[in-house]
Amino acid sequence: MITLPIQGMTCASCAGRVEKALKKLPGVSEASVNLAAEIATVQAGAEVTTANLTDAIVKAGYEVPLASTELNVEGMTCASCSGRVEKALKKVPGVLSASVNLATNQAVVRHVASVDLPAQLRVAVQAAGYGARLVHDAAPADARFWTEGRQVAAAALLSAPLVLPMLGDLLGRHWMLPALWQFLLAAPVQFIFGARFFKAGWAALRAGSANMDVLVALGTAAAFGLSLAMWWREPDGMPHLYFESAAVVITLVRFGKWMEARAKHRTLAALDALQALRPTTALVRRGGVDTELPVSELQLGDLVVVRPGQRIAVDGEVVEGESHADESLITGESLPVARSPGDKVTGGAVNAEGLLIVRTTALGAETQIARIVRLVASAQGAKAPIQQQVDKVAAVFVPAVLVIALLTLLGWLWQGAEWPTALIHAVSVLVIACPCALGLATPATLMVASGLAAKRGILVRDASALERLRDVRVVAFDKTGTLTEGKPRLLACEPPGGGDARAVLAQAAALQAGSEHPLARAVLQFAARRWDETSATSPSAATGTRAVPGKGVLGQVQYHGQSHWLALGHGRWMAELGVNCAPLQASADAHQRKGLTVSWLAAVPAPGGSTGDATLPALLGLLAFGDTARPQAAATVAELAQQGIASVLISGDNPGAAHHLAEAVGITRVHAEVRPETKAALVAELKAALPVGQAVAMVGDGINDAPALAAADVGMAMTHADGGTDIAMHSAGLTLLRGDPWSVVEAHSLAIATGRKIRQNLFWAFAYNALGLPLAALGHLSPVIAGAAMAMSSVCVVGNALWLSRWRPPHRPDALPGEALSPGERRYLAEAVNARPDG
C-alpha cells in the first residue's frame, strides 16, 4: 500500500478525477482519495512505482508535495555497495529516486513529503547491511513564498474599494469608481490571485472532467469579460460594470479555502499530539557509559536509561528498576501502571518515580506510537460507505450545474432580458454551486471522530466500522481476557485417590515449560514459587511437545528417571483419548460450579503407536484455574442494556465457568465450549437472527477470536498490559488499547455522535445547493452574495464537524474491589480468592 499527499484538490469531483487517473494505471488494483485529509491510498503490484503514481496525479492537474533527505552511509567499500544501497532505498514506498555517491558516502533521496519516511530510509539501509545517519531533511520542493493568508489579505485590500460603491448606494451616495480604476483593481485579483482556478480548471477540462475550479473560472471570467465588453462599448460613459463581482468572488472563495484549511488542520490535532509524544533524544548505556543520542541513531537491543519524570524514548522491556508509567496519552487510561523487570513499556509514556533501564525492542515505524499514528491516519483517510454514495452524486454535480447555468442564460434571454442581465444570473448559478461541502461532509467528521477515539484509547482501523457501530444491537463478548482479567491463577491441584499433588504439579509444569498460554503461565508461576519455598529442583522441560488446537498439549516428560507421554487438556479431549476421569469428576464438577476452569493431566500411549501397557491411558490429576472479572464488566453490560443492546457471552470454557461469569456480570445468553472454528459461525447466526439494518459486534483479544472478529459487522480487539494479539487487531475494525470493556460503551457513544454529525453535514450540504441554485437561477442572488455563500458553505461543514470535539464519553463508574462491584462480581471474586491449591 502506497500513501501519497496531494495538493490542489478543491472539491469531491477533484478527488474522483484523481482516483480515476490512478486506477487507469496498469497494476493498480485499488485507489482511494480522501479530500479532507488530502491523501491518496493505492493498492498496487510491485511493478507500480511511486513515480508512476506521482506522474499520473500531476497529469490529472494536481501536485504531490515532495521532499528530499540526505543520509550519511557507513560501511560502503565499492560500487556494488552503493548499488545495493540504492536498490534498498528505491524499494521504500514513497521514494521517487535515490542516488548514492561512493566518494562522499552520501545518499540523496527524493520522496513524497512524510515525517516517517526519513526514519524508514535509515532502517532500509541498515537492513541492507550498512550504517546510516540522517544529515538533514530538505524543505518541501513546492514551498511558496507567500502564504495563503497573505494572498487572501492582498486580494481583500484590492477588492475593498470595489465593494464601497455598493455600501454607498445603501446610504444614497454615489461612490462608483471610474471604469479604469475598477479594471486596475480587479485585474490583479483576477489574473494573479485567481490564476490557480484557471490553471486547475483547464487541467480538469483537459482530463475530460469538471470541478469547482471550472465553475469559479467560468463565472469570474464571464463577469470580467462582460465588464470589458460594456466598457469598450461606452468608453466615455459610466456603464454598470461587474468587475467587483469577479474580484470579490475570487477573494471570498480564496478566503473560504483558507478558513477551510485552518479548520481541517484542527481536525488533525489528535494526530499531531501523538506525533509530539516521540522524544527526539535518549540516554543510551553502551559499555557502561551513558551517552545522550538522537533516537534516530539507536539500535535494537540498546539499553536506554529513563530517569524519573522523563518520557520513555523507545518501545522496550524493563531490565532493571521499578516504577509506574503514565500511558494516558497513548491508551487513555488515567491511572499509571506498575512496571518492573520483564514488563514491556511503550515509547511516549512518562516514567514516574523510579529509574528504569529499558532494552530497546522496536524502533522507527515499528514502535507502538508509529503504528498508532499510521492507524489513525489510515482511518482519517478511509472512506465510509456513505461517503462512497456521496462521491457518486458529486461526480455528476458540476456537469449538472453547468447545464443549469446554460438553461438559466437561455431562459432569461427567452424572457426578453438583455445579455448582461442573463449572463450575470448564469454567473450567480456557477458561483453559488459548491461540491466542496458535499465532499467534506463525511471525511471531515471522520477525521475528528478518529482523533477523539485515539484520545480515549480506541483505534479506528476501518472507517466503516465506526459508521456501522451505531447500528449494533448485539455485542458478543469473549470471556477470558475480555470480560475477565485474562490472568488465571492455579487454585487447585488434585491427584486421584490421595496421590502426590507435587508430582502432578511438577509434571504439568514440565509439559508446559516455555508455553505462553495463560493457563500454562499460571502453572509455571505457581510451580516456581513452590520450588523456591521448598528448594526443590524443577523438572526438565518436556520433549516432542506439540499443541493440539482447541484441545490441549501433548509431550514426553522425564520424571524420577522414567519417561512418560502426557496429555494436558479439557474433558472432551480426555474422553477422546479414552481417559477415565470418574475418580475426580465430583471434584471437577464442584470447581466448575464455582466458575473455575478444569484441565486434566493423563499419561497416554506414544503418538502413532502403542506401548503395550494395559494401564494406559491413566488419569494423573486435575488442575483448577480461576480468573476474576474485569472491574467494569458488569457496568458495561448494564449500560449496553440501557441502550437496547443485548450482550452475549461466547467462550471456549466449560459451561460452569461461562455461566458463573455471565451471572456475575449480568449476561443471560451464554454459549460455552465453543471451538475457535465455530465462533465465526455462531456470530453469523447472531447476524442472521437480526432484522435488516441491525448489526452484531464481537469483542475479543486472542488469535482464536480473529475469525469471529472478521465475521462480525464490527470487530473490536482488546489489548492487555502485555500488548495485544496482532492477528486479532488486524481482523478487527476497532482496537481497544485500555483493555477495558467500558471502551465498548464509549466507542458506541462516539459512533452515534459521529453518525448524527455526518447526517447534519450532508443535510446542510444538500439543502444549501437545493435552495441556493434556484434562487440564483431566478435572479434573487447577485454574484457577490452567491460567492460569499459558496465560500462559507464548506467552512460551515468543517466547522460543524469540529463541534464533534465537544463530545464527552459516558460517565465511567470507578469500580474498586469490594467497593463498586456488582453483587455477582463480589461473589465471583470472593469464591476465586478463597479457593486454595491442595498439596
Q: Which residues are tagged catalytic?
A: 478
The cell for 295 is: 533516537
CA gap 285, 307 in Å, rounded: 13
Please give the C-alpha separations between residue 691 and each of 23, 477, 606, 642, 697, in angstroms, as whole numbers. Answer: 37, 21, 52, 20, 15
In one letter, which amino acid is 752? I
The cell for 151 is: 494572498
Count other C-beta atoms under 10 Å from residue 56's C-beta: 24
| Residue 670 dihedral angles phi and psi, to the nearest 5° | -130, 135
CA gap 312, 607 in Å, rounded: 49
Cβ neighbors of 57 (< 8 A, separation 6 or more) are: 4, 6, 18, 21, 22, 40, 63, 64
CA gap 259, 265 in Å, rounded: 10
Work out whether the CA dihedral 410, 413, 415, 420 comes out positive or negative. Answer: positive
DSSP 836: -
The cell for 758 is: 455526518
Count other C-beta atoms under 10 Å from residue 287's C-beta: 5
Angle at the Cα of 563 from the Cα atoms of 558 and 569, rounded to 5 degrees: 80
Look at residues 576, 561, 557 and name the one whose alpha carbon lies nearest to residue 620. 557
CA gap 766, 169 in Å, rounded: 34
Burial class of residue 516 (count of CB atoms within 10 Å of its CB; 0-12, 13-18, 19+):
exposed
Report the DSSP pairing between strands 28-34 and 66-74: unpaired
Helix (H) or strand (E) holding 792: helix 783-802
DSSP 713: S
What residues does 290 pair with on adjacent strands?
A: 285
Cβ neighbors of 23 (< 8 A, separation 6 or more) are: 30, 31
**DSSP string over 533-595:** HHTPPPPPPPEEEEEETTTEEEEEEEETTEEEEEEEE-HHHHHHHT---HHHHHHHHHHHHTT
The cell for 288 is: 557502561
CA gap 133, 111 in Å, rounded: 17
CA gap 652, 704 in Å, rounded: 9
Please count the CA atoms within 13 angstroms of the CA of 474 that sit on its side-chain side: 23
Work out whether the CA dihedral 789, 793, 794, 796 comes out positive or negative. Answer: positive
DSSP, collapsed to helix, strand or coil, labels residue 734 as strand
What residues does 603 pair with on adjacent strands?
A: 566, 618
Instruction: Kindly report whether the peptide bond that precedes residue 813 is cis, defined as omega within 30 degrees of 0.
Output: no
Count other C-beta atoms under 10 Å from residue 120's C-beta: 19
In one letter, which amino acid is 614? A
The cell for 719 is: 489489548
| Residue 590 dihedral angles phi and psi, to the nearest 5° | -65, -45
In one letter, which amino acid is 265? H
